[in-house]
C-alpha cells in the first residue's frame, strides 16, 4: 500500500520553531514545546547532550545543526535576527512566498527543504510516519542551517514529492549502470573462455612439478605442463601424497611424548635373569647340576647332604649367602616398587588422554585399593 504524504505547511510549522530560537540565549535547556517539533534522532541528541552539559554558556541552538562550523554561524545569525510577533495574532510574521523543495533519500526517507531568505535560515524537515512522542505521523525538523548564499546542491532538490521520487529512481538506475561499466569486464565469447582455461591449466600444472610434501605457490606466467606416459588414474593418484604447506601439522601423526620414568625397560627382566643364573656369576644349572656335569650317586649324595670343609668356612659362607640374599631381596623390592610407580604413571597418562580428570583417576585407584582390602578379608 502506497503511503499518501501531504506536503508540509510552512505557515503551520515555522512559527512555533522560530518562537523557540530566541530562548536559546536565556536558558541552557530548550523549551519543552520545541522537542515535539524535532525528528526523533535530533530530539534524542538535544536531550542527551543538554542533560550532560556542565557549561551554562553552551547554547542548545548549536545542536540543531550537525556541522560544527555551520552551527557556529547559525548561532551568530539567530543572535542578529529579530523575531517580532504580529501585534494582532501574536505570531511571528512570515514572508508571503515560502519555497519548499523535496529530496527522496531512499524508500523510507523523504526530506523537505523550507527556505527563509529574510531570516537567512534553511529548515530541513523529515517525514516521520510513526512518531508517538511528536504527536503521530507528520513533518519534523531534521536540521536547521544558516543560509547566506545559494547552496551548491540546489539541483538535487525537486519542486514536488512526485518529481523527487522520479529523481531518486533515475539516480538509482544511473548508479547501477555506472557500477556495471566500472565493474569487472564481461566475457567476450570463446576467446575469453579459452584464456580462462589456459590460466587454469597453468595453475594446476604446478602440482606436477612439486614435491609431495609441499604446495606450489602461484607464479605469474608459468608454462603449461602436460603429463606424458601416465594414465588418468596414475596422474590423479599423485595428489594423494601431497601434504599442503599450510597444513603440515597432522595431529594424527603425533605420538604422545613418554614422560620421565624411574625404571629402565629391561631392569625387571635383568633381575629375574640374575635370579635364575645365580648372583655370583655361576653358570646355569639344571636340577642342581652344572652344565656338562655327569650325574652320579656320589654327586647326588653330596648335593643332598652337603658338608662344609670347616666350621669357620661354613659360617663365613652362610653369612655371605645371607648378605647376598638380603641384597637381592632389597633389589627386588626396589625394582617392584619402581615398576608399580611406573605403571601408575602410565595409567594416569592413559586416563588423561581419554579425558579423565585427576580426581576421577584418584577415585578409581582408591576404589580398587578398597576392593583389595575386601579380598584380603575374604581370604
Residues 56 and 169 in one domain: yes
CB-based contacts of 14, cutoff 8 Å, min separation 6: 92, 94, 98, 114, 116, 123
Among the candidates 126, 156, 180, a domain finishes at 180
What pLDDT is recorded for position 55? 67
What pLDDT is recorded for position 214? 53
For the beta sheet containing 100-106, the strands, ordered from the edge strand earlier in sequence to the opposite edge, are 100-106, 109-116, 121-128, 138-146
What pLDDT is recorded for position 219? 46
Q: Which tops the pLDDT comparison, 137 or 149?
A: 137
Q: For residues 61 and 75, is the Cβ–Cβ distance under 8 A?
A: yes
Q: Which domain holds residue 349?
A: 267-279+311-378
What pLDDT is recorded for position 345? 84
Segment 286-305 mean pLDDT? 52
- pLDDT band of 4, cuts 50, 70, 90: confident
Residue 220 domain-assigned (yes or no): no
Among the candidates 137, 161, 180, a domain finishes at 180
Residue 111 domain-assigned (yes or no): yes
Residues 158 and 272 in one domain: no
The Cα-based distances of 128 to 103, 124, 131, 177, 249 in angstroms read 14, 13, 6, 31, 59
CA distance 187 to 178: 18
DSSP state of 132: T
Residues 172 and 273 in one domain: no
Residue 20 domain-assigned (yes or no): yes
Residue 292 domain-assigned (yes or no): no
DSSP state of 366: H
Residue 67 has pLDDT above 70, yes or no: yes
Residue 217 has pLDDT above 60, yes or no: no
Residue 221 has pLDDT above 50, yes or no: no
Segment 75-96 mean pLDDT? 80
- pLDDT band of 372, cuts 50, 70, 90: confident
Residue 252 domain-assigned (yes or no): no
Residue 244 domain-assigned (yes or no): no
Residue 170 has pLDDT above 80, yes or no: yes
Residues 16 and 120 in one domain: yes
Note the pLDDT tens digit of each residue in 331-340: 767 777 778 8
Note the pLDDT tens digit of each residue in 12-51: 999 999 989 988 888 888 999 999 999 999 999 999 998 8
Helix (H, G, I), strand (E, B) or coil at 35: helix
Segment 247-256 mean pLDDT? 56
What pLDDT is recorded for position 14? 92
Residues 129 and 271 in one domain: no
Residues 149 and 274 in one domain: no
Q: What mean pLDDT value characterizes the chain?
A: 74
Residues 273 and 165 in one domain: no
What pLDDT is recorded for position 234? 72
Phi-psi region of 121 (alpha: psi -120 to 50; beta: other; left: phi over 0): beta
Segment 211-220 mean pLDDT? 51
Q: For residues 42 and 64, is the Cβ–Cβ distance under 8 A?
A: yes
What pLDDT is recorded for position 258? 46
Segment 133-157 mean pLDDT? 81
Among the candidates 180, 209, 225, a domain finishes at 180
Residue 317 has pLDDT above 60, yes or no: yes
Segment 159-174 mean pLDDT? 88
- Rg of the chain over all Cα atoms, to the nearest angstrom: 50
- pLDDT band of 321, cuts 50, 70, 90: confident
Residue 334 C-alpha cell reads as: 626396589
Weakest-pLDDT range from 31-45, 136-150, 241-255, 288-302: 288-302
DSSP state of 208: G
Residue appearing with cell numbers 502506497: 2
Weakest-pLDDT range from 78-82, 210-214, 314-318, 347-351: 210-214
Q: pTM to 2 decimals?
A: 0.47
Residue 302 domain-assigned (yes or no): no
CA distance 276 to 294: 21
What pLDDT is recorded for position 292? 53
Q: For residues 245 and 214, is the Cβ–Cβ distance under 8 A?
A: yes
What pLDDT is recorded for position 302? 52
Residue 293 has pLDDT above 50, yes or no: yes
Q: Is 65 exposed, middle or buried (0-12, 13-18, 19+ CB in 10 A)?
A: buried
- pLDDT band of 196, cuts 50, 70, 90: low
Segment 68-77 mean pLDDT? 91
Residues 151 and 22 in one domain: yes
Split into its structural domains, the chain has a count of 2
CA distance 268 to 273: 9
The Cα-based distances of 110 to 74, 117, 140, 152, 171 in angstroms read 24, 23, 11, 20, 15
Residues 171 and 317 in one domain: no
Residues 143 and 273 in one domain: no
Segment 103-115 mean pLDDT? 91
CA distance 163 to 155: 12
CA distance 161 to 287: 121
Backbone torsions φ then ψ of 95, nearest 5 degrees: -65, 160
What pLDDT is recorded for position 97? 87
Residues 23 and 171 in one domain: yes
Backbone torsions φ then ψ of 114, nearest 5 degrees: -110, 120
CA nearest neighbour of 17 among 31, 37, 1: 37
Residue 192 domain-assigned (yes or no): no
What pLDDT is recorded for position 207? 63
The Cα-based distances of 135 to 37, 46, 76, 104, 132 in angstroms read 9, 18, 31, 23, 5
- % of the chain with per-residue pLDDT over 90: 20
Strand partners, 7: none
Residues 18 and 124 in one domain: yes
Segment 286-304 mean pLDDT? 52
Backbone torsions φ then ψ of 256, nearest 5 degrees: -60, 130
Backbone torsions φ then ψ of 123, nearest 5 degrees: -110, 125
Amino acid at each position: 500500500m502506497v503511503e499518501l504524504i501531504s506536503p508540509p505547511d510552512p505557515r503551520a510549522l515555522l512559527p512555533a520553531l522560530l518562537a523557540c530560537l530566541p530562548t536559546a540565549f536565556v536558558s541552557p535547556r530548550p523549551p519543552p514545546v520545541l522537542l515535539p517539533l524535532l525528528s526523533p534522532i535530533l530530539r534524542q541528541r538535544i536531550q542527551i547532550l543538554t542533560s550532560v552539559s556542565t557549561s551554562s554558556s553552551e547554547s542548545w541552538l548549536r545542536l540543531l545543526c550537525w556541522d560544527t562550523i555551520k552551527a557556529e554561524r547559525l548561532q551568530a545569525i539567530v543572535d542578529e535576527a529579530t523575531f517580532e510577533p504580529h501585534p494582532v495574532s501574536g505570531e511571528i510574521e512570515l514572508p508571503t512566498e515560502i519555497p519548499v523543495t523535496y529530496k527522496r533519500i531512499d524508500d523510507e526517507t523523504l526530506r523537505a527543504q523550507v527556505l527563509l531568505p529574510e531570516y537567512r535560515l534553511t529548515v530541513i524537515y523529515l517525514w516521520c510516519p510513526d512518531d508517538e512522542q511528536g504527536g503521530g505521523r507528520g513533518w519534523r525538523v531534521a536540521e536547521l542551517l544558516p543560509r547566506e548564499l545559494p547552496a551548491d546542491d540546489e539541483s538535487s532538490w525537486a519542486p514536488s514529492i512526485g518529481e523527487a521520487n522520479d529523481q531518486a529512481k533515475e539516480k538509482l538506475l544511473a548508479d547501477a549502470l555506472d557500477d556495471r561499466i566500472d565493474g569487472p569486464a564481461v566475457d567476450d565469447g570463446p576467446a575469453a573462455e579459452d584464456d580462462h582455461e589456459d590460466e587454469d591449466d597453468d595453475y594446476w600444472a604446478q602440482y606436477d612439478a612439486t614435491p609431495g610434501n609441499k604446495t606450489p605457490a602461484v607464479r605469474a606466467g608459468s608454462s603449461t605442463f602436460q603429463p606424458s606416459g601416465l594414465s588418468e588414474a596414475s596422474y590423479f593418484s599423485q595428489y594423494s601424497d601431497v601434504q599442503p604447506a599450510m597444513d603440515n601439522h597432522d595431529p594424527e601423526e603425533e605420538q604422545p611424548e613418554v614422560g620421565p620414568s624411574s625404571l629402565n625397560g629391561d631392569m625387571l627382566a635383568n633381575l629375574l635373569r640374575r635370579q635364575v643364573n645365580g648372583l655370583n656369576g655361576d653358570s646355569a644349572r639344571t636340577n642342581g647340576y652344572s652344565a656338562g656335569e655327569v650325574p652320579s650317586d656320589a654327586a647326588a649324595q653330596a648335593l643332598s647332604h652337603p658338608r662344609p670343609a670347616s666350621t669357620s668356612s661354613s659360617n663365613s659362607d652362610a653369612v655371605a649367602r645371607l648378605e647376598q640374599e638380603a641384597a637381592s631381596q632389597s633389589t627386588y623390592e626396589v625394582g617392584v616398587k619402581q615398576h608399580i610407580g611406573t605403571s601408575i604413571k602410565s595409567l594416569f597418562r592413559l586416563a588423561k588422554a581419554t579425558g579423565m580428570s585427576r580426581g576421577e583417576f584418584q577415585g578409581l585407584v582408591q576404589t580398587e585399593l578398597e576392593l583389595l582390602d575386601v579380598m584380603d578379608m575374604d581370604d
